[in-house]
Amino acid sequence: MTGSIFSQVPVVLVEMCVLTNPSDERFIASKAGQSQMADALAAGVRAALTVQGQR
């Protein structure tokens, strides 16, 4: 959290899963899960940039 508190630019902390949840742990450890999360993050960034560009 220190990075976001003292940051000079906007920061977003994304929590994709709960590692104490066994099914989340398996999901994030799998190649398919990692790919799905990366795709979701990229889609979110694209959506945010699109909205920002429309202002």
User: Which pLDDT tens digit goes with each residue over 7-36?
Assistant: 888 888 888 899 899 999 999 999 999 999
- 54 DSSP assignment: T
- 16 DSSP assignment: -
Distance CA 2, CA 24 (A): 26
Furthest C-alpha separation in the chain: 42
Distance CA 13, CA 41 (A): 11
Q: Where are the alpha helices (DSSP H) in 1-55?
A: 2-5, 22-29, 31-53
> pLDDT value at position 55?
52
Please provide the distance, in angstroms rounded to a whole number, between the alpha carbons at the two ends of the chain. Answer: 29
Q: Whole-structure pTM over 0.75, yes or no?
A: no
